[in-house]
Amino acid sequence: MDETFYRENILDHARHMRNKGLLSPCDFDHEEHNPLCGDHLHLTMRIDDNGIIREVGWDGSGCAISQASASMLGEELIGMSLEQARKLDKQFVLDLIGIPLTINRVKCATLSLKTLLVGLVSSEHWENIEDE
């Protein structure tokens, strides 16, 4: 692996994070940790009466990959229906990141998705997604 690992897009999101800052009040509020390194993500969302995600606000701490993935996923979620969001899989986030990740770093990249899906569906659903 060389320096191209930190693709410009990732660094851009990590430096200029989109939708950072928690929403209050909000319709969705969930926090998760990455037990391997202690990275933390808190995700809030406002959802309209038709079940469409209108606003996303998040806060967290962690590596460039975990923060960039939260920033990128947040942008994607705006305008998405909850029904669509529930069906997101690991590959969706890995494609956003766009670089091959090793087994221990996949956990960093998917922390934001884990926060979304554990909060939206269940931890068991997330574990099944993780094992795919």
CB distance 46 to 100 below 8 Å: no
Q: Which of positions 34-53 make contact with another protein (CB under 8 A)?
A: 35-38
**Nearest approach, Cβ of residue 117 and another protein (Å):** 13
93-122 positions binding another protein, by CB under 8 A: 102-105
CA distance 66 to 70: 6
Give the span between the Cα atoms of 53 and 59, in whole angstroms.
17
Q: Does 25 bind another protein (CB under 8 A)?
A: no
Q: Token digits for 26? A: 């909000």
Near another protein by CB under 8 A: residue from 7, 33, 42, 46: 33
Which CB, 19 or 66, lies closer to another protein?
66
Torsion of CA 40, 21, 110, 63, to 10 degrees: -60
Residues of the shown chain interacting with another protein in the complex, contacts defined by CB under 8 A = 33, 35-38, 102-105, 123-124, 127-128, 131
